[in-house]
Amino acid sequence: MSEDRSNGRSRTWWGRFVQSLRGEIEDQDSLLELIREAGDREIIDAEAARMIDGIFRIAEMTVRDVMIPRAQMEVIELDRPMNEIIDRVVEVGHSRFPVVGDDRDDVRGILLAKDLLRACRQGAASPSLGELLRPATFIPDSKHLDHLLYEFRTGRHHMALVVDEYGGVAGLITIEDVLEIIVGEIEDEYDIDEDEMVVPREDGDYLVNALIPITEFNSLFGLHLDDQDTDTLGGWVNKLLGHVPRVGEQVQVAGLALEVLRADRRRVQIFRLKGPQRSTGVTSMNASASDEGTSVI
């Protein structure tokens, strides 16, 4: 009997959906509500319903809504020595980098990590960075994401530089940034669950959730960071540096190095905690935010 009622509800919903396609639902919100209801009632897969919702969202959003701001762009300077470029590519771990000349408005092209790897593997003399660059694509910050996704697909490129109305570089955006609106965040090896605070790695380091309470972080690692003005480790680092740190920035505390592995324009998400034997290139800096000896790079 219950199965008959369930089938009846499904047929009723399907009839309403077919009617919507025939024009009896007059606006997008009503159609989306119908799709969400189907997901809640398990008539269609809940994940599919969420993705459909994301498809509608990208038609309403513009590039400026999701772009990586100019200040947080990971760039490579054209005149940097090749050994430093290689070290930087390995350290950051991105597959593409804008290459700039005099400043961030002077984008000369895009360096793909695979092109750099291929050039270095050939065993010839150190390659010229200029010879490895691919053309950069520039788009206005007002472009809608659905149009951009089409351009990414048809143009077979995965990154674009975003320019403002005055022609200055305002940020960058990748195809992954757009797809994540539809499918959700695309995880990588450094992702941890939101309810996990510390995850040990095989190399002896730790992945640390930036939302871990300062008191819990102190207790786990035997530290005494000041928790009077901030509640979380991410907030403590923000206060120490005076800004939201970029990926790759490090803070050294009592011989332990905190490296930013993931961050957006609003907050840090994931740190890597490294032991003293793995911390290099750190210079001293006065920091009143900590009771420990603290330095940053």
Predicted structure pTM score: 0.58
Residue 155, CA distances (Å) to 9, 98, 137, 205 in order? 45, 18, 10, 40
Same fold across 65-183 and 198-296 = no
Rounded Cα gap, residues 210 and 267, in angstroms: 9
Q: Of the given ranges (30-44, 88-102, 170-184), which has the lowest mean pLDDT?
A: 30-44
Burial of 190 (0-12, 13-18, 19+ CB in 10 A): middle
Q: Could you state, in order of their start, the residue ranges of all structural domains in the chain?
A: 2-44, 65-183, 198-296
pLDDT tens digits along 111-164: 999 998 888 876 656 678 888 999 999 999 999 999 999 999 898 889 999 999
pLDDT tens digits along 31-75: 667 677 766 777 667 777 777 777 778 888 999 999 988 888 889
CB 99 within 8 A of CB 107: yes
CB 160 within 8 A of CB 68: no
Q: Of the given ranges (66-80, 207-221, 251-265), which has the lowest mean pLDDT?
A: 251-265
Beta pairing class for 76-77 and 96-100:
parallel
Measure the N-to-C terminal CA separation of the chain; round to a whole number of Å.
Answer: 68
Rounded Cα gap, residues 246 and 248, in angstroms: 6
Task: Give the number of other Cβ atoms within 10 Å of residue 225's Cβ.
Answer: 21
Rounded Cα gap, residues 50 and 155, in angstroms: 27
Architecture label for domain 198-296: 2-Layer Sandwich (3.30)
Tokens found for residue 167: 């022609």
Whole-number pLDDT of residue 117: 85
**Residue positions counted in the chain:** 297
Q: Which has more confidence, 282 or 105?
A: 105
CATH fold for domain 65-183: CBS-domain (3.10.580)
